[in-house]
Amino acid sequence: MSLAAIGQVGQVGQVASVALLAIGAAMMLVRPGGLAPWVGPVGAASVAVASTAVSLDAAGDALRMMRDPLLFLVFAVPLAAALDRVGVFEAVASLLDGGRHLVAWLWVLAAAVTIVFNLDAAVVLLTPLYIRIAHRQSLPVEALAFQPALLACLASQPLPVSNLTNLLVAERFDLSATDFVRHLGLPTVAAVGVGWWAYRRTFPSMVPAGSAATTNEATLDVEADRNALRSGVPIVAFVLIGFTVGDVVGVPAWAVAAVALAAALAVVARDRRGSGWTLRVVPFEAVAIAAGLSVLVAGAAPHLGLTHLLGAEGAAGRLQALLVGGLGADLTNNLPTVLAAMPALGDREQVWPLLVGVNMAPALVLTGALSSLLWRDTATRLGVTVGAMRFTRVGVRVGLPAFAVAGALVVLVP
């Protein structure tokens, strides 16, 4: 075969790898014929490997890089579900329920759950809870239901475990929880604070009407809440300590989550609250999507020209990373964006604005993050239907100012 023919074959392979990534990402979002979201990425990845658009070695390396982050996802979401079965989140919310500052404290609760248990667990578990509270307190249901979706984007920065994108970056660049807190703690606090201000301007009529529970019901609830907190708070404390201390001594986050899950399931069994954990709560779909996209990005990334886009240094380089992360997440999805951008980063300082971009910008577009799609499906099942345009209108009013402030901080303060 001539050199020209070999070159043509190589070009065809490059085009094929990029096209398959685009197809896999698009099918996840559009879902033709009602296909499950994982079908597109997994199917396109299978075609890529079978056609040698992605080599077996490259696919294997990509999946090995995803191992620890995906193991964390497998244990963390069931852990949050088990704690929900114990009644921890309901108990915390009941401490706030009916107070004058209820809506503000629920905003804080959504931020805290996102940070500690990750954004996917937060939207799946808190959205039903917030919708129940909205009905009970005669609050605008859509407005309160929006909180977990917005905080999933604005608060998923300060710890490696807060977002799958964080775990991927931490794994690749050997970053600790301390690194995340030092670089992304202030931008996250600023985003949550500015987001709250913008949220109240967007939804001004948020005054609780007071709980309608009878005295007997309230007494029973208080006792149940106390039991839930006594059982659940030590597990949550273990998780917080495990994620920080374990990071220092080399214990992976997924191992901490696995131990905490075992403890939570023991409480569920002891209190006879049902199984608390079934195969249905394991996020197999998210794992399949992440694995499929990682294989596709492994083949396409060298041909996307991101090294040129991320080639500047200093504040200019950080701004480039922020914009590439934000635009890439909103045009495709945050997971393929961070997978493709990581190898192209020219400066370690670009990691932090890249994460702010891929994590916060999806507040503007429904398809920007898997958590938003999970939120939409969860809310729709509970009678709260939010279309893509409505999501964007709220996201622009609430998420855009928060993203702008956090982005400015992470670009200007290395």
d(CA 193, CA 278): 37
DSSP-based three-state secondary structure for 38: coil
Question: Which of 36-40, 87-91, 193-197 has the least mean pLDDT?
Answer: 87-91
For residue 262, give both structure tokens: 């075992």
Q: What is the pLDDT of residue 223?
A: 65
pLDDT band at 239 (very low <50, low <70, confident <90, very high): confident
Tens digits of residue pLDDT in 143-190: 999 999 999 999 999 999 899 899 889 888 889 889 999 999 999 999
Helices (H), 87-163: 88-96, 102-117, 119-136, 141-154
pLDDT at 36 over 50: yes
pLDDT at 208 over 70: no
When pLDDT is averaged across residues 358-378 and rounded to a whole number, the result is 87
The single residue listed with the structure tokens 């929880």 is 177
Ranked by mean pLDDT, which of 29-38, 75-84, 397-406 comes out on top? 397-406
Q: What is the pLDDT of residue 277?
A: 54
Least Cα distance to 293 among 334, 326, 352, 354 occurs for: 334
Backbone angles phi, psi at 312, to 5 degrees: -75, 165
In sequence order, what DSSP letters do the residues of 44-61 get, joined into one string? Answer: HHHHHHHTTSS-HHHHHH
Question: Residue 302, Cβ neighbours under 10 Å: how many?
Answer: 17
pLDDT at 1 over 50: no
Share of the chain above pLDDT 70, in %: 89
pLDDT at 9 over 70: no
pLDDT at 142 over 50: yes
pLDDT at 351 over 50: yes
Mean pLDDT of the residues in the chain: 83
Tens digits of residue pLDDT in 266-296: 888 887 665 545 667 787 887 888 888 888 8
Q: Which residue has the higher pLDDT, 73 or 55?
A: 55
pLDDT at 49 over 50: yes
The single residue listed with the structure tokens 């208080």 is 222
When pLDDT is averaged across residues 3-24 and rounded to a whole number, the result is 63
d(CA 244, CA 238): 10
pLDDT at 405 over 70: yes
CA-only gyration radius of the chain, Å: 22
pLDDT at 191 over 90: yes
pLDDT at 7 over 70: no
pLDDT at 195 over 90: yes
Q: What is the pLDDT of residue 354?
A: 96
When pLDDT is averaged across residues 114-134 and rounded to a whole number, the result is 85
Q: What is the pLDDT of residue 270?
A: 81
pLDDT at 215 over 50: no
Tens digits of residue pLDDT in 104-123: 999 999 999 899 888 887 88
Q: Which residue has the higher pLDDT, 392 or 69?
A: 392
Share of the chain above pLDDT 90, in %: 28
Are 192 and 411 in contact, with CB atoms under 8 Å apart?
no
The residues, any chain, with a CB within 8 Å of residue 93's CB and separated by 6 or more, are 106, 109, 129, 133
The pTM of the whole model exceeds 0.85? no
